[in-house]
Structure 1
């Protein structure tokens, strides 16, 4: 099995599905935002809340490419994975995927996020402590 930078199990809920009982595609974006928040929670002592709250550092998406490969169904157990493709000076490119227990990928995406000041809404350098733990997590996944 491939080692990912960060991953979580998830059960697809009724609230994430359309009337046909399959994942309504925008829900994947909510689920992966949750995955990023959980990842930052594990990386930084103050977590995502401290990053955007006290430190006023935002992480908005500036580019997103998505491929929907198979349907996800209500009640299905899936694995969400996140990998660091490229840490830049002010941005971070991530790849993420949703894979079923059957090993079939439901969707995959490539996302670029930028670190910003939530006071000025201008891009800023990725904070040193965040960069350090991101690079460490990515290196550990590649071993």
Structure 2
């Protein structure tokens, strides 16, 4: 789901993820590293459904990756087996070769924030492993996702 509020606020990409047994630690709550797996899945879904950029083609044929160069997570409340988490992705800033994202995961109640993830993706050549400018089609697609400029 993509949402653009009528008041012109930035777009949000929303995905729900169910917590399965393999996501949990022995305490029965989501193991913290699994939130990064959720993030990676949601980013790929956003590329394909939100940006309409063929992610496998970007990597395998064009040899361009979008690795996570920095990630910052705030774990605010536990999530347990059987919970359904609602993740909202928004663009914080777009640079020459980077994209700053904010993902917020909540429980069924939107005010029940479980995790807040800030991530910086850097466009890189998979051959040289060096940053490269965002390709024109990706930059054009990102124009439909105006940056919030927020730091929360």
Q: TM-score, normalised by structure 1?
A: 0.90
Residue 96 (structure 1) aligns with: 103
Matches of 1:61 and 1:26, distance apart in 2: 14
Unaligned residue ranges in structure 2 (runs of 5+): 6-10, 148-152
Deviation at 1:19, TM superposition (A): 1.4
- Structural mapping, 1:55-74, within 5 Å: 55-74=62-81
Residue 85 (structure 1) aligns with: 92
Is the contact made by 1:12 and 1:77 (CA closer than 8 Å) also made in structure 2?
yes
Q: Deviations over 1:105-135 (max 9, x none)?
A: 0000111110000011110001111111122
RMSD of aligned C-alpha atoms? 1.7
- Structural mapping, 1:1-80, within 5 Å: 4-42=11-49, 43-44=51-52, 47-80=54-87
Deviation at 1:44, TM superposition (A): 2.8
Residue 150 (structure 2) aligns with: none
Matched, 1:108 2:116: yes
Unaligned residue ranges in structure 1 (runs of 5+): none
Matches of 1:93 and 1:15, distance apart in 2: 29
| SS of equivalent to 2:40 | helix
Matches of 2:142 and 2:22, distance apart in 1: 32
Q: Any runs of at least 4 consecutive aligned residues in structure 1 with deviations exceeding 3 A, and if so which?
A: 1-4
Q: TM-score, normalised by structure 2?
A: 0.85
Q: May I ask how many residue pairs the two structures share in their alignment?
A: 138
| SS of equivalent to 1:24 | coil
Residue 133 (structure 1) aligns with: 141
Structure (1/2) with the larger helix percentage: 1
Is the contact made by 2:4 and 2:12 (CA closer than 8 Å) also made in structure 1?
no
